[in-house]
Structure 1
């Protein structure tokens, strides 16, 4: 796209190395985090130190220019240690991309203390309102599923507000940590440590420079940035946000499976052929999913997504997640009762993968229908002409 700056790849090796270290740190704490439903401050600090919070920040505010392919692998690397930590790190990165749609004054306020501001977001509100006020808006409401909110500095929340000629428009509002409270509402089967609690805002005035239209973010046309990664339409990249942690978790499950097979051999027992076949199939499905995600990421690293690329990326991220979930399901089944013990990490990974795969963005049916809609509409138009 003319005038857009491609992200440099000079820091990719250092970022990936730091992400792997953060993943090891998260892995050591994963069982406790799952049990207590909370990442430790040390694990979150490791994600920030690795560079997740600054990965997609505009360069003028200290962002590192990380490309989507590198970010996807970095998130997956953390996911091999702890899926909840990977999910949190991924959202730290991608929410900063949202904030690139704020006016320049708003961006300067968000990143006034540097690029490692911890941003969270939520589009799911209950009775939220935004009414015009002097120089901005008066915002009230509750927003659920704000992953990582316990460690946040700012929250980006969305609600409908009066627009041009009285028509309502969906808007995002940037709220500082001092202006919202947190209700602990997240208690789930899987992804327990993401801390995806509820943000509560009571009659907070948000100045105009700390708000932007949702459509600007969805289309990528409203980014106040000349960097390509901020100009991508949402559906071209947001599947990567949620699929990458699942990829890492599936790789961890495969390592556990391989270790169990090797242990049998070490004890003088030949693993059943059915177990070997299940392991091989899962390995292939995980590799196939990784290739799909890599293509999706590399495509949006090279150019602004066309409509065709957008629907393909959406399809591929959802399909990759299906492959990963199927692989982990098979590995748990092959592991027998041992793998289902609460002391065995495989059951935690299985719970995390199935919980993450239920995310709205990763649903294959909706992505499939979006993928076929374009050429079917063309076929219908050709038939009627």
Structure 2
């Protein structure tokens, strides 16, 4: 065997082999303030700029969750979510688009087999929007693969996507209702519609629709009868066995909600930053006329919001640690009940952040500070849009809450 053959068989190295999680987080914290003055531009474009995308790639953000054997950094969810929080503090739309595009390296590396992973991760940088709502159709092809047709809405991260992770409907046999099929499609199989930006908030999140017309994917890119949020990882996953990393075997539902909770914390922190600037620069309306920072009422409103947001941040970090501890304990530890329990922590994180922004900061910032395009107004709009997400407003608020009780009491 030649030296060239040996090198060819070795796993690829990431661009910066010595990069650490702390350095990646610091890069996100450094970039975040530069996103603030570009928020209006990002909303008009409906996604973040090409140079921002290139900066994220250079910083290694798109490889945080990609397995090392495919040239990723495999830093884990703690690093990824802290980067997402930092970016959300600067621009919620940018962070939402980044997070919901790059995050799906984790479920892909967890659920798909070695052959599929080797193909989808070979580019290194991995951006893969996903939707949980089944749409379109899938039918078998003569070679055993699948033909996909349909339109999938709310595909956050689609402008720079390398892949798409979705659910299609497979016709049932003998008149049975259709069943969902989880699939992954390469960029060559789909196109993006220019249909985003008219919503109340998150206008720059790149959440466009994706269309697939007679798209072909191989059999190993699909899981008939599977929905990503309901995958049972109690017996282990292909990814945890392939990579020897237990985080590729964690609960998929709770991880999806940890993403949104982490983004909400960053959004609320950004609103508090803007409110602090007002505290320092503006005076009270009624005598005695002093800076807002000197006024007892503004001190109370600021302190109340800061406490809520700090508690939310502590809760989400503890939830992340619980998620990681359950992964480390082995496949049997991450039961459906545990998955749902962490999901309910995320529910409370979202409530705390919303109470801070909607209840304390927005109504007391002043009418000039909540005009269209002002930072606090934008965070309020973005968090309002966040709450309209089906996974937050419906699944987390009601379905997940009931499912936790059912899992606890063994009720099917």
Distance of aligned partners of 1:162 and 1:11 in 2 relative to their CA distance in 1, 3 Å threshold = farther
Please state whether the residue corresponding to 1:124 is helix, strand or coil: coil
> What is residue 112 of structure 2 aligned with on the other side?
102
1:246-325 superposed matches below 5 A: 246-264=264-282, 269-271=290-292, 272-304=295-327, 305-325=334-354
Distance of aligned partners of 1:189 and 1:266 in 2 relative to their CA distance in 1, 3 Å threshold = closer
> What is residue 244 of structure 1 aligned with on the other side?
262
Please state whether the residue corresponding to 2:61 is helix, strand or coil: coil
> What is residue 52 of structure 2 aligned with on the other side?
43
Q: Is residue 209 of structure 2 the alignment partner of residue 198 of structure 1?
A: yes
Distance in 2, Cα, partners of 1:99 & 1:308 = 23
Contact residue 42 and residue 204 of structure 2 kept, 8 A: yes
Uncovered stretches (5+) of structure 2, i.e. residues with no partner: 1-17, 328-333
Deviations 1:83-115 (A, max 9, x none): 1111122123321112222222221111223x2
Contact residue 68 and residue 300 of structure 1 kept, 8 A: no
> What is residue 182 of structure 2 aligned with on the other side?
172
Distance in 2, Cα, partners of 1:216 & 1:196 = 19
Please report the TM-score for the alignment, with normalisation by the length of structure 1: 0.88
Distance in 2, Cα, partners of 1:189 & 1:224 = 38
> What is residue 78 of structure 2 aligned with on the other side?
69
> What is residue 366 of structure 2 aligned with on the other side?
336
Contact residue 190 and residue 352 of structure 1 kept, 8 A: yes
> What is residue 4 of structure 1 aligned with on the other side?
none
Distance in 2, Cα, partners of 1:189 & 1:216 = 28
Please report the TM-score for the alignment, with normalisation by the length of structure 2: 0.82
Q: Which has the higher contact order (CA 8 A, sep 6+)?
A: 1
> What is residue 6 of structure 1 aligned with on the other side?
none
CA-based RMSD of the aligned residues comes to 2.7
Please state whether the residue corresponding to 2:371 is helix, strand or coil: coil
Please state whether the residue corresponding to 2:140 is helix, strand or coil: strand
Distance in 2, Cα, partners of 1:117 & 1:71 = 13
Distance in 1, Cα, partners of 2:148 & 2:373 = 45
Distance in 2, Cα, partners of 1:30 & 1:177 = 27
Distance of aligned partners of 1:216 and 1:274 in 2 relative to their CA distance in 1, 3 Å threshold = closer
Q: Is residue 113 of structure 2 the alignment partner of residue 83 of structure 1?
A: no
Q: Is residue 232 of structure 2 the alignment partner of residue 219 of structure 1?
A: yes
Distance of aligned partners of 1:232 and 1:369 in 2 relative to their CA distance in 1, 3 Å threshold = same
> What is residue 3 of structure 1 aligned with on the other side?
none
Q: Is residue 200 of structure 2 the alignment partner of residue 189 of structure 1?
A: yes
Relative to its length, the structure with more strand (as a share) is: 1
